Structure 1
Amino acid sequence: MFGKTAGEVLIDLLIEWGVDHIYGMPGDSINSIIEPLRKAQDKIKFIQVRHEEAGALAAAAYAKLTGKIGVCMSIAGPGAIHLLNGLYDAKLDKVPVLAITGQVESDLLGTDFFQEVNLERMFDDVAVYNQRIMSAEQLPAVVNQAIREAYTKKGVSVLTIPDDIPKFEVNKEARLTSSLFAVPEILPRESDVERARQLLEQAHRPVILAGKGAKAARASLISFAEKIAAPIVLTLPGKGVIPDEHPLCLGGLGLIGTKPAYEAMREADTLIMVGTSYPFTGFLPEEAKTIHIDTDASQIGKRNRVDVGLAGDAGQTLRLLTDRLEKKKDRSFLERQQERMNQWWERLNRQEADESIPIKPQRVIQALQKIARDDAILSVDVGNVTVWMARHFRMTDQQFIISSWLATLGCGLPGAIAGKIAFPEQQVFAICGDGGFGMTMNDFVTAVKYRLPIVVVVLNNHKIAMIKFEQEVMGNVEFGTDLTNPNFAQYAETCGGVGYRVEHPDELMPAFEKAVAQNKPCIIDVVVDADEAPMPPKITFAQAAGYAKHMLKELFEEGKVDLPR
């Protein structure tokens, strides 16, 4: 370490922490970091993105997929500002990310120099750890602490490095620390486990709501649910916790969920929340006794009333409960939900078989289902496409990532880039609407440059379709939602990839089969029906009334109905 520049030490420490690639763009205020990074390309790759936002979104997606820290880098000023959206995605979805940003030289700080921005203030809200490096000697300890904090607190660490610091040598006065973090084993109190057991013994209609925190606890969750005869409902980030067609699964909850999940929650007398801090409390049962399991005790009782809180690892806590319970003999409640779910699948099957033109989005998801392997990576963008994937894609062992809490458009493509870097031997799909893809489509050339054979599926309806539907449900006339799109298949070819334009249902499977056989990035541009509304599982009177009001407005404004005299 001693005798090396601070820039070289920074790269050495990243390698020591197991970082093998960084997303970013080079520039004047980080060139003294880029040079040692260039020299270490056999150990740590630099992935040049075309927009820093895509780099930060990719870093967040990499962390979601692997549990390892994602790293992104930018210059001072505009580059650092561009990182914010992706960093907020990491913050809200609670994954470890390190952002390294340049800054003007130390002696120029405070002089309103070119591209000088108060980065510590700007990053203060998004970061769990936010420091400006003050000297070469300070850098090693601060880098270690930044990464340790990101892992421990599951959040974003930001290091702002003035341009002169990486050029200085690290002398023997530097404080040496370790490149490691300790992982605790978290178990609930015995008294809380006993209270939960007593509640479960009295439950007649239990329902489990499982979130992202239950993903590593599939076997324990299924054993527990079998023991208490409880159906399992999934949050959106929890999709894939158990297979969608598992007999215990009722699918998702909320406006993008299933009708059986909605009805089960309405009837439940006991709710067991596992690894989720579900925000849409209107979909939770009002009178049910509630047990909440989470490793983060601050999330228990945060959004709704809880009778018993179990602060502990999902898998171990569920096993503790399962071992203490007798198998429930009355399984009528579970069987009723299973029958409803069978009817729901029949309904979705009919939608997916629709051969209408323009193509129904549900049919596109059916084609993806047929071609995606069990270990495929699915990076899903935000909008109507989220609804179609959440409802219609039957997860087995695939990985499903999305910007679940920030819900930022444009996350699909960067997530797929990160997925292919993390798992080069697996199929990787980005499933995007035309609105979301349009926000980050310039980084399709990044996939081309690094020879990442991802498949981007664009549901192209020339609309910001979810907003169109929201406006109509409010009783308003659609406004500002039309999109003027290029031919995305031709765009793929222009970038050096492969493109397929699909306008008829019988073209879907051939396009998918060719795309996954290519060794190049592909775009499948599917023209879909803009009027296919992502109807919620249960339509309220207010929604129906709002839609009827919208239809009347459209008729009157277009002169299709004579107004009363």
Structure 2
Amino acid sequence: MFQKSAADVMMEMLIEWGVDHIYGMPGDSINTLIESLRKVKDKIDFIQVRHEETGALAAAAYAKLTGKLGVCMGIAGPGAIHLLNGLYDAKLDGAPVLAIAGQVETDLMGTDFFQEVDLPSVFKDVAVYSQTIMSAEQLPAVLNQAIRTAYDKKGPAVLIIPDDVPKFEVERNALKTTSFVSKSTVIAHEDDLRAASEILNEAKKPVILAGKGARGAKDTLLTFAEILKAPIILTLPGKGVIPDEHPYNLGQLGLIGTKPATLAVEEADTLIMIGTSFPFVGFLPDGLKTIQIDKDPTQIGKRYPVDVGMAGDAGETLTRLLPMLKPASDPQFLQTCQQHLQEWRIKLQEKAQTEAVPIKPQFVINELQKVTKDDAVLSVDVGNVTVWMARYFNMTNQQFIISSWLATLGCGLPGAIAGKIAYPDKQVIAVCGDGGFQMMMNDFVTAVKYNLPMVVVILNNHKIAMIKFEQEVMGNAEFGTNLHNPDYAKYAEICGGIGYRVEKPEELPPALSKAVQETKPCIIDVVVDADEAPLPAKITFSQAMGYARHMMKEFFQEGTIHKPPL
């Protein structure tokens, strides 16, 4: 009796797992899988990307946005290697992804055949689970195990499939396993809750630092903050956990952060870290009483010393902690932080409303805010654009995705593609620098091909601008940061999309208003000031001295100074 091929069984199982699209590019070592994918095209869409890195970044972004499995494919050798950057993004940001990598046929493995690469070694560090499929009967059980592990460990699982295996029939006695994953909630220990409450009840100046682990716990988090009279600082991945304009929200901390957040941490006597393993500990002063909540016990105290750690889900832990707390009686610290915030916002608005030429990047974000819907998906690239969005875009209920831990340039466009596939009825906007967009710009045609109407806003300053600033604060002369850019609006049109070129402030509002109404992918190419530095909220002495050294180098090399010192 006729049996199904391993490739056909694989597609049926992916459908059982709820997979409805796969990013990839066809090729010889995955052609059998592609044929089986064609047979189920009414249930699984194949999104043909122009570069496998885009596919992996999009799969990671889809997983970040939805919590569902993102799936990508690549051929043996170069295709599989191209997946790596996106898979590392998934690993470091905790996104469940399945990567299907082709391989040469089993009888050719180990012979240095055409496009043969030691893929187990290639994926060893990035994968939370990696297995080479050596028989058709092995595939069903291993596929289930790979997806379960991706969900449980929140990272990329990799299946390496030699070209001949998908053609083989799966015998009836093949090992059968279950196509679902069981979920659990980590609950903090009672002793740790009690120890934390003792510290919190004595705190006079508590500050909350919340990350993406606090998503879904908005109401409980705010109740916790109100009882303690504690301002909330959000990490960049946590942006949007509570609305940016909430009176308890001081913004972000660090180089991208706000001055009120920096001042609050410097004055605090107690720090409560919720759902974050904040890496930039140089911005956290010594001598604080510190409490950390994280569902992964290995993250507690990993980067910064803590007095009490509670291993548990953020919302569940806060709910159990609330009855143990005494309401704070003195709101003075909170009120001082809020006053600092009000003064800071006035200064931000002055910058954001400056209609200068070249256009200030802050002005672009301010105008973008006006046309962005409350439930939009925002995919933000890495670089200066990250700073401008973190400081100047006030999140309400939008979804915000970025490559936070890997911080890879080029994530903006793939994230928008994934966002539009995940939420076809929502407004999707990518905000990119010119350097980041150029890395993946070839896949703008993918958005056009699959009719994914989105808006890509490019802050075009002909620079790798963040690196320029880093060189300057180190005291170095700027070198290697200039970019030679095309007209991105014309590029959009050549690809079959719509493009707007903006060089004057008055051109921006109508371009944005038109772009968000378009039914095709759209690029707004905004020429912005390359000398607008993403200054940290609080400039250190070493940064000021470094910039002074940079100015002297510029003077002696060029004979003139083109920009004012800090």
The TM tier, using the shorter chain, reads: over 0.9
Question: Residue 249 of structure 1 corresponds to which residue in structure 2?
Answer: 249
State the alpha-carbon separation in 1 of the partners of residues 347 and 322 from structure 2.
34
Question: Residue 429 of structure 1 corresponds to which residue in structure 2?
Answer: 429
State the alpha-carbon separation in 2 of the partners of residues 72 and 185 from structure 1.
29
Deviations 1:339-358 (A, max 9, x none): 00001110100000111100
Question: Residue 78 of structure 2 corresponds to which residue in structure 1?
Answer: 78
% identical equivalent positions: 70
Question: Residue 397 of structure 1 corresponds to which residue in structure 2?
Answer: 397
Q: Secondary structure at the match of 1:418?
A: helix
Q: Secondary structure at the match of 1:171?
A: coil
State the alpha-carbon separation in 1 of the partners of residues 36 and 527 from structure 2.
46
State the alpha-carbon separation in 1 of the partners of residues 320 and 336 from structure 2.
28
Are the equivalent residues in 2 in contact too, given 1:197–1:325 (CA < 8 A)? yes
State the alpha-carbon separation in 2 of the partners of residues 559 and 517 from structure 1.
49
Is 2:364 aligned against 1:364? yes
State the alpha-carbon separation in 2 of the partners of residues 560 and 90 from structure 1.
46
Question: Residue 346 of structure 1 corresponds to which residue in structure 2?
Answer: 346
Is 2:506 aligned against 1:510? no
Spell out the pairing of 1:157-306 with structure 2 (5 A cutoff). Answer: 157-306=157-306
State the alpha-carbon separation in 1 of the partners of residues 416 and 200 from structure 2.
41
Q: Secondary structure at the match of 1:249?
A: coil
State the alpha-carbon separation in 1 of the partners of residues 246 and 339 from structure 2.
13
Is 2:135 aligned against 1:135? yes
Are the equivalent residues in 2 in contact too, given 1:268–1:285 (CA < 8 A)? no
Q: Secondary structure at the match of 1:252?
A: coil
| Structure 2 unmatched runs, 5+ | 562-566
Question: Residue 462 of structure 1 corresponds to which residue in structure 2?
Answer: 462
**Superposition deviation, residue 216 in structure 1:** 1.1
State the alpha-carbon separation in 1 of the partners of residues 338 and 385 from structure 2.
26
**Superposition deviation, residue 326 in structure 1:** 2.0
Question: Residue 43 of structure 1 corresponds to which residue in structure 2?
Answer: 43
**Superposition deviation, residue 285 in structure 1:** 2.7
State the alpha-carbon separation in 2 of the partners of residues 265 and 166 from structure 1.
56
Question: Residue 480 of structure 1 corresponds to which residue in structure 2?
Answer: 480
Question: Residue 564 of structure 2 corresponds to which residue in structure 1?
Answer: none
Are the equivalent residues in 2 in contact too, given 1:150–1:156 (CA < 8 A)? yes
Q: Secondary structure at the match of 2:185?
A: coil
State the alpha-carbon separation in 2 of the partners of residues 217 and 168 from structure 1.
48
Q: Secondary structure at the match of 1:468?
A: helix
Are the equivalent residues in 2 in contact too, given 1:412–1:430 (CA < 8 A)? yes
State the alpha-carbon separation in 1 of the partners of residues 230 and 494 from structure 2.
52
State the alpha-carbon separation in 1 of the partners of residues 285 and 312 from structure 2.
24
State the alpha-carbon separation in 2 of the partners of residues 516 and 280 from structure 1.
36
Deviations 1:510-548 (A, max 9, x none): 001100111000000000000000000000000001101
Question: Residue 543 of structure 1 corresponds to which residue in structure 2?
Answer: 543
State the alpha-carbon separation in 2 of the partners of residues 378 and 482 from structure 1.
27
State the alpha-carbon separation in 1 of the partners of residues 512 and 132 from structure 2.
48
State the alpha-carbon separation in 2 of the partners of residues 112 and 522 from structure 1.
45
Q: Which amino acid aligns with 1:224?
A: F
Task: Assess, with a 3 A threshold, how the Cα gap between structure 1 residues 3 and 195 changes in structure 2: closer, same or farther.
Answer: same
Q: Secondary structure at the match of 2:216?
A: helix
Are the equivalent residues in 2 in contact too, given 1:384–1:465 (CA < 8 A)? yes
Deviations 1:327-349 (A, max 9, x none): 11101000000000001110100
State the alpha-carbon separation in 1 of the partners of residues 440 and 495 from structure 2.
14
State the alpha-carbon separation in 2 of the partners of residues 160 and 186 from structure 1.
32
Q: Which amino acid aligns with 2:294?
A: D
Question: Residue 379 of structure 1 corresponds to which residue in structure 2?
Answer: 379
Question: Residue 489 of structure 1 corresponds to which residue in structure 2?
Answer: 489
Spell out the pairing of 1:54-133 with structure 2 (5 A cutoff). Answer: 54-133=54-133
TM-score (norm 2): 0.98
**Superposition deviation, residue 3 in structure 1:** 1.3
Deviations 1:254-301 (A, max 9, x none): 000000000100011100000000001011131111110000010001
Question: Residue 559 of structure 2 corresponds to which residue in structure 1?
Answer: 559
**Superposition deviation, residue 2 in structure 1:** 8.1
Are the equivalent residues in 2 in contact too, given 1:2–1:172 (CA < 8 A)? no
Are the equivalent residues in 2 in contact too, given 1:148–1:181 (CA < 8 A)? yes
Q: Which amino acid aligns with 1:141?
A: A
Q: Which amino acid aligns with 1:458?
A: I
Q: Which amino acid aligns with 2:196?
A: A
Q: Secondary structure at the match of 2:432?
A: strand
Question: Residue 444 of structure 1 corresponds to which residue in structure 2?
Answer: 444
Question: Residue 471 of structure 2 corresponds to which residue in structure 1?
Answer: 471
Is 2:408 aligned against 1:412? no
Q: CA RMSD in A?
A: 0.9
Are the equivalent residues in 2 in contact too, given 1:456–1:523 (CA < 8 A)? yes
| Structure 1 unmatched runs, 5+ | none
**Superposition deviation, residue 559 in structure 1:** 2.4
Q: Which amino acid aligns with 1:142?
A: V
Q: Which amino acid aligns with 2:365?
A: I
State the alpha-carbon separation in 2 of the partners of residues 558 and 498 from structure 1.
41
Q: Which amino acid aligns with 1:317?
A: T
Q: Which amino acid aligns with 1:184?
A: S
Deviations 1:210-259 (A, max 9, x none): 00100111111000000000000010101001011100000000000000
**Superposition deviation, residue 556 in structure 1:** 1.2
State the alpha-carbon separation in 1 of the partners of residues 259 and 162 from structure 2.
55
Task: Assess, with a 3 A threshold, how the Cα gap between structure 1 residues 2 and 196 changes in structure 2: closer, same or farther.
Answer: farther
**Superposition deviation, residue 560 in structure 1:** 3.7
What number of residue pairs does the alignment pair up?
A: 561
Is 2:530 aligned against 1:530? yes
State the alpha-carbon separation in 1 of the partners of residues 516 and 411 from structure 2.
21
Deviations 1:309-330 (A, max 9, x none): 0001101111111122121110
Question: Residue 323 of structure 2 corresponds to which residue in structure 1?
Answer: 323
State the alpha-carbon separation in 1 of the partners of residues 156 and 521 from structure 2.
30
State the alpha-carbon separation in 2 of the partners of residues 63 and 422 from structure 1.
9
Q: Which amino acid aligns with 1:480?
A: G
Are the equivalent residues in 2 in contact too, given 1:267–1:285 (CA < 8 A)? no
Q: Which amino acid aligns with 2:291?
A: I
Q: Which amino acid aligns with 1:215?
A: R
State the alpha-carbon separation in 2 of the partners of residues 147 and 484 from structure 1.
43
State the alpha-carbon separation in 1 of the partners of residues 202 and 76 from structure 2.
59
Are the equivalent residues in 2 in contact too, given 1:429–1:457 (CA < 8 A)? yes
Q: Secondary structure at the match of 1:256?
A: coil
Are the equivalent residues in 2 in contact too, given 1:2–1:170 (CA < 8 A)? no
Are the equivalent residues in 2 in contact too, given 1:270–1:288 (CA < 8 A)? yes
Question: Residue 311 of structure 1 corresponds to which residue in structure 2?
Answer: 311
State the alpha-carbon separation in 2 of the partners of residues 30 and 116 from structure 1.
13
Q: Which amino acid aligns with 1:189?
A: H
State the alpha-carbon separation in 2 of the partners of residues 395 and 512 from structure 1.
18
Deviations 1:112-148 (A, max 9, x none): 0000001011100000100000100000000000000
Q: Which amino acid aligns with 2:95?
A: V
Are the equivalent residues in 2 in contact too, given 1:2–1:171 (CA < 8 A)? no
State the alpha-carbon separation in 1 of the partners of residues 168 and 559 from structure 2.
74
